[in-house]
A and B are shown apart, each in its own frame.
Chain A
């Protein structure tokens, strides 16, 4: 890879066109990486149109005689449960998580970023501490707690934390964003007699839209992809999420219905891919800023 460090922040210039060999190498390099990145995705798209016995063994990316039987068999559902049930369950959890995160994390972030109260630094340190805490330490005691509260096989264990701002990453992201908002705005509002709630709702929240959108998308995708949570808390197939439905599919069918499994895998990815295509700017910029200020 030819690393032209000097080009890093240089604005595109008309002279660039003359340096064709460098440009060619750059594009070749990028395309090579792209091919490796995309291979599994193309493979799964092609595989979903293959007959089950050809999915693994056949090296052709796309079958000569494509079949949609993998998709039509999905319509029969998995273990007598319609695939749409899994989707609706996942959707409910994902949307519920987004709502919870947006409300609870922005309130928390506002307190840390904009209110001077006794003990703020200590609590902020604690909050950052939870950012590094391995989830698995909480796994068992939380399970015991929710079991004692008779909440196993409900969605409460999967959602409650989202409404109680336990996702420190998003709090942190929003705190960073709020700290950069001009303070004169809330000072002016205070002089006009606004309390914190008004300032939060009418001034800070609207200005935080980029951070809120980033958090919402990440929350949705994380909730959609979540496997361990549903695996532990849900035990009735009709309540399963897409991830669990897929796992159940794998366990039941194994290699017998490889085509159906691949088709279902692809369908399960579609919402995430759609979100990505729609919001990739937000996602990538959100990642970049949170990383830089960390």
Chain B
């Protein structure tokens, strides 16, 4: 609305004010601005419809449900903060929070360390590099599937390879998937197995580090470790940040693999003694098995708040450790 006159005023000014992406067009700037607006919103109309219908609307509804008692069949009944107080007082909920945090705190750093380590290995240009890169990436594509979860459950069950191997080393704790304390580590192993996706991103970042920096460091006599610490790490810190952010947010939302690896045949969906009951598993149980849609919505909002907090903290921490190159240093 106020856009058209503004464009007109700017059009009278010199070119540089335009910015590089203003299209040159031999027509009246005012109609052009209007036409651009129309075109923009026409192209965006599917997204806008989707945003309103499938994102913004549902979010508002979810926020409302979080303050109601809603079982899908009767109309939602406003109960204020009762869902939240029930949630916080529920030992199973607190347990699912612990399980999830543990999964995030253990799984994400290990996965990223492995990804970075292997990326550093693969960054050396040698024969077979492309093959290894592709092979290591493959688990990231199939890792979320039900098939892999089933395979995982088998490999980590009693008497299977993992159990036999640890027995050979004198550790007799049985299969992991049947043990309430260990089942979560089979999930950690599953996420670490999918280190290929962050590895590929690390590799792309490593390729961008100017070779001259290492040459200069060689001349100065800096060792491998110093070079890694003072050159590689700062130079790839934006990529590291991206990976940490993505993987952390992702880990908070693990569902399918926990649901299948932990879940028994038709029995408890949340693993032996809730051992693999990650947050979303409990959310699913409360919402879709117990028809507690209001409570599940409250849980979903808590997850959103947690993810938002983590994201905010990560973004704020950026200033301290992420180095962006902006034309010199």
A residues at B contact (CB < 8 Å) = 1-12, 16, 23, 26-27, 29-30, 33-34, 36-41, 43-44, 47, 55-57, 59, 103-104, 107-108, 110-112, 115-118, 120, 123, 126-127, 130, 132-145, 147, 160-161, 163-166, 171, 183, 186-187, 190-191, 195-196, 200, 221, 224-225, 227-228, 232, 242-243, 246-247, 250-255, 258, 261-262, 264-266, 268-269, 272-273, 276, 280, 283-284, 287-289, 291-292, 294
List B residues 105-158 near A (Cβ within 8 Å).
117-118, 120-126, 128, 132-139, 141-142, 144-148, 150-152, 154-155, 157-158
| Smallest beta-carbon distance A94→chain B, Å | 13
Q: Does B321 contact A (CB under 8 A)?
A: no
Provide 23 A-B residue pairs closer than 8 Å at the C-beta atoms, listed in order of the A residue: A5-B232, A33-B132, A36-B193, A37-B135, A37-B196, A39-B161, A111-B39, A111-B44, A116-B23, A120-B40, A123-B48, A132-B307, A138-B55, A164-B49, A164-B50, A227-B256, A242-B146, A246-B147, A276-B138, A280-B137, A287-B201, A288-B203, A291-B200
Interface residues, chain B, CB within 8 Å of chain A?
1-3, 20-26, 36-37, 39-41, 43-44, 46-51, 53-55, 57-59, 61-62, 65, 72, 117-118, 120-126, 128, 132-139, 141-142, 144-148, 150-152, 154-155, 157-161, 164, 193, 196-197, 200-201, 203-211, 214-215, 218, 224, 227-228, 231-232, 239, 242-243, 249, 252-253, 255-256, 259-260, 265-266, 280, 283-284, 287-288, 293, 296-297, 300-301, 303-304, 307-308, 311
Q: Are A40 and B193 in contact, CB atoms less than 8 angstroms apart?
A: yes
Kindly list chain A residues whose C-beta atoms are within 8 Å of the C-beta of B155. Answer: 40, 43
Interface SS of A by simple majority: helix
Interchain CA distance A268-B106 in the complex, whole Å = 30
Partner of A137, one of B59, B218, B288: B59
CB neighbours of A268 from chain B (8 A)? 145-147
A168 to chain B, nearest CB (A): 9
